[in-house]
Structure 1
Amino acid sequence: MLQMAYDYFWSHRLWLPKNVTWADLEDKDGRVYAKASDLYITIPLAFVFLVVRYVFEIYVATPMARLMGVKDKVKLRAAHSPTLETFYASSSKHPKQSDLENLSKASKFTVRQVERWFRRRRNQDRPSLEKKFREACWRFTFYLVAFIAGIAVLADKPWFHDLHEVWRDFPRQTMLPSQYWYYMIELGFYWSLLFRVAFDVKRKDFKEQIIHHVATIILISFSWCANYIRVGTLVMVIHDSSDFFLESAKMFNYAGWIDAGNNIFVVFALVFIITRIIILPFWILHCTWVYPLEIYAPFFGYYFFNVMLWVLQCLHIFWAYLILGMAHKFLTGKLEEDARSDPDETDIPDEEDEEPSKNGSVSNGHSLHNGHHKAD
């Protein structure tokens, strides 16, 4: 049964157009084609990325954070209380009023002290600005290098200027060494993001990020196996074109360089809208949905590839909505203090500890880090 499932999964009728078989894509006469086995290298490559990232964050990102003046606020630690710690770890980080009263009796703290304890304990778990800066610095570096490499790979290719060339002689299109390394490095990087997602800073769009990473990995892998390499490189370079602006805007925001961060964010928003809301659906998706039908009849791989592209496009629309919301607030002056952050972050507002003032009132400060992500 496993052999039958394997044979069915790799059936040329699923992956390739009619009258084309895997035998037609075997290396011969100096022509080299993409193979599914090539993708095995991306897993060890992902772990190489994790090691490189670790070294980069220590020896490059951390000194850069200090150079740019990234400073974390002093966080008051919660008092030692096994009872409250157990509840915090096993039940809830945000206890209800009834829980507060029960915990007050069990811990011999007042209800007010229990509230303050949970507030301080949550603050202890919040990622530091330096950690956020290091993550943004790493992604900025990769996306910038990947975008430059992508342009270098594509600039002299005919399908970069004429999308009809994407499907010329498809799927019998030989693979170029530059395409091989571009694909392997991009896929290895997205695997590394997926492996690290549970340890990186969690944001409100955490689920969307998981969907994005998985959909991207599936798309890159499928496009490689079915020899959709030409359009695959176009999709990747479009995604990389705005991401490094996003990450640099985060870096400046974390460093407190608000004006610079805002200006870069505006550039990011414009590039994001142009590339992912205009170019991607009206040029690339049109190219993948309409042009192939001029040379072959629809098949499963054709539908699968386009459906996955539309999954990404739906995520782009979701993020564009958040970006435009932030841009509107920015242009109308409704963002207060540092209420702007990276457009792909939607962190819960940082909670300051409440301290009573001299007249007995309570001041409660909030430092907001709002925003959205990616893309890619």
Structure 2
Amino acid sequence: MPCFFLECEPSHELARFGVAFAGLYAYHFLWDQLAIRPTVALMVRRTWLTKDKFDKMRESLWKIAFVVTGFSFGLYIGHDKDWFLEPTRYFTDYPYVAPEKLKWYYMLYLAFWFQSIDFMLSLTSKQYTVKRKDNAEMLLHHCATIALMVFSYYFDLTRVGMCVLMIHDVNDLLLETAKVFVFMESELLANIFFGTFAVVWFIVRWYYYSKNILYSVYVHAWAEIVAPAIAQGSRLGMDAATWYKLYMAFFGFLALLLVLHIYWGVLIVRMVMKALGDGNVEKDIRSDSEDESEPVAPPAAVNDDDAKPKRRRAPKAE
């Protein structure tokens, strides 16, 4: 991998993934132990953060660290390529020979999504005690992303695959930054970043994703890959019917991501409507499940010195 059409040693690619997977866990350990935990502990000591937000803050800071690293790596790889974010060139010269840097980029992100499932379900360790009521949707998203990455890597579609990942990174960075300020109860900054996140979500994940990715696959992947196979009856040792099935599977994975984008976009609209009524981002519709059953105390008169800071749930969407 990419081994289906181009010669390579599958064991080498599996070893590459193993190195990336182990390296990511080591990278997470170093970030968490040397920077994130001490920083969050300091926030708690200085009462910038309540103790119940400790793991949530750790999780968000780790995601920010990874997204900044991955996005920067993607820019380094693609900034001087004629196909980078250029939908008419994703599928030219197919099958495309992925350079080593792009292969490592793919393996890094593949490891990250497997790690996300691990942390979400606490399969190997309980890194974070954060539970959410939409775990099923998140698991579907993660599995669809992994399937899309494996498929695109195996069938030499890494150009468009990298651009899909980078498009998603933009919103992820804004969201996790907004959550950091929500946890710190910095209302103004939380609202600014969440408002920016909401606007960018619809621009990037609805409009730009549909126009730059889905339309490109629908039109250009068909013209560059499938149509020649149909005209010739076969291509690269596969008959036209198989090419058509592979094309529909790839397009289907991408369409599933758009469906999830639309679903979360509706939740974002509901949050925005609530924020307009409340004046701030008070409640995450995709909130933590352990908070859902907490009783709401009736209002009571309290002294200023005894007043506790209001708890605010973080917005979360992927």
Structure 2 match to 1:31:
none
Residue 237 of structure 2 corresponds to residue 237 of structure 1: no
Provide the aligned C-alpha RMSD in A: 3.0
Q: Secondary structure at the match of 2:121?
A: coil
Tell me the equivalent position of 1:318.
263
Q: Which one of the candidate residues 49, 52, 57 is aligned to 1:71?
A: 49
Aligned partners of 2:48 and 2:184 also within 8 Å: yes
* Matching residue's letter, 2:113: Y
CA contact (8 A) 1:35 1:224 kept: no
1:138 to 62, 65, 73: 62
Distance 2:161 2:299 in 1: 58
Deviations 1:194-216 (A, max 9, x none): 11112341112111111111111
What is the CA-CA distance between 1:371 and the residue it aligns to? 3.3
Whose helix fraction is larger, Structure 1's or Structure 2's?
2
Partner of 1:6: none
Q: 1:299 aligns with which of 244, 247, 251?
A: 244
Q: 1:40 to 1:208 in 2, by over 3 A?
A: farther
**Which residue of 2 is the match for residue 88 of structure 1?**
none
Separation in structure 2 between the aligned mates of residue 282 and residue 162 of structure 1, nearest angstrom: 11
Are 1:219 and 1:308, in contact at CA under 8 Å, matched by a contact in 2? Answer: yes
2:16–2:104 contact (8 Å) kept in structure 1: no
- Among the aligned pairs, what percent are the same residue? 28
1:1-376 alignment, distance < 5 Å: 22=4, 24-26=5-7, 38-43=13-18, 45-68=20-43, 69-72=47-50, 128-160=52-84, 162-171=86-95, 173-199=96-122, 200=128, 201-295=130-224, 296-297=226-227, 298-330=243-275, 332-334=276-278, 339-340=282-283, 345-347=287-289, 348-349=291-292, 351=294, 367-369=311-313, 371-374=315-318
Residue deviations 1:27-54, cap 9 Å, x none?
Answer: 6xxxxxx958514533453344234323
Match of 1:7 in 2: none
Contact kept, 8 Å, 1:253 with 1:261, in 2: the verdict is: yes
Q: Which is further off, 204-213 or 296-305?
A: 296-305
**What is the Cα deviation at residue 353 of structure 1?**
8.8
Aligned 8 A contact 1:144 1:244 in 2:
yes
Paired position in structure 1 for 2:230: none
Note the residue ranges of structure 1 that are not aligned, 5 or more in a row.
1-9, 16-20, 28-33, 74-127, 359-364
2-side partners of 1:208 and 1:279: how far apart? 22
Report the Cα distance in structure 1 between the residues aligned to 2:14 and 2:131, rounded to whole angstroms.
Answer: 29
Q: Contact 2:24 / 2:108 at 8 angstroms: preserved in 1? A: no
Change (3 A) 1:25 1:242: same
Cα displacement (A) at 1:58: 3.1
Match of 2:187, as an amino acid?
I
| SS state at 2:49 partner | coil
| CA 267–56 in structure 1, closer or farther in 2 if over 3 Å, else same | same
Distance 1:299 1:257, change over 3 A: same
Cα shift at 1:300: 1.7
Distance across 1 between alignment mates of 2:254 and 2:207: 14
> Which TM-score applies when normalising by structure 1?
0.68
Partners of 1:161 and 1:190 in 2: CA distance: 22
TM-score of the superposed pair, with normalisation by structure 2: 0.79
CA distance in 1, matches of 2:99, 2:160: 14
- Give the superposition deviation at 1:334: 2.3
Give the CA deviation at 1:136. Answer: 0.5
Tell me if structure 1 keeps the 8 A contact 2:179–2:314: no
Secondary structure of 1:269 counterpart: helix
Q: 2: distance between equivalents of 1:36 and 1:311?
A: 31
Q: Which digits, 9 at most, give the CA deviation of each residue in 1:110-169, with x for residues without a partner?
A: xxxxxxxxxxxxxxxxxx201100000000111122112212211211112532211112
- Give the conservation status (yes or no) of the 8 Å contact 1:346–1:371: no
Distance in 2 of aligned mates of 1:177 and 1:43: 15
State how far apart, in whole Å, the 2-side matches of 1:324 and 1:224 are: 35
> Distance between the aligned counterparts of 2:20 and 2:201, measured in 1?
28
**In the alignment, is the contact (CA less than 8 A) between 2:168 and 2:205 conserved in 1?**
yes
Kindly indicate whether the alpha-carbon contact (under 8 Å) linking 1:322 and 1:371 is maintained by their aligned counterparts in 2: no
Is the 8 Å Cα contact of residues 144 and 253 (structure 2) preserved in structure 1?
A: yes
Which string of whole-angstrom CA distances, capped at 9 and with x for unpartnered residues, describes residues 44-98 of structure 1?
Answer: 533442343234223311222244444326xxxxxxxxxxxxxxxxxxxxxxxxx
Structure whose CA Rg is larger: 1
Aligned residues: 285
Change (3 A) 1:165 1:285: same
Residues 35 and 224 of structure 1: CA distance in aligned 2, closer, same or farther (over 3 Å): farther
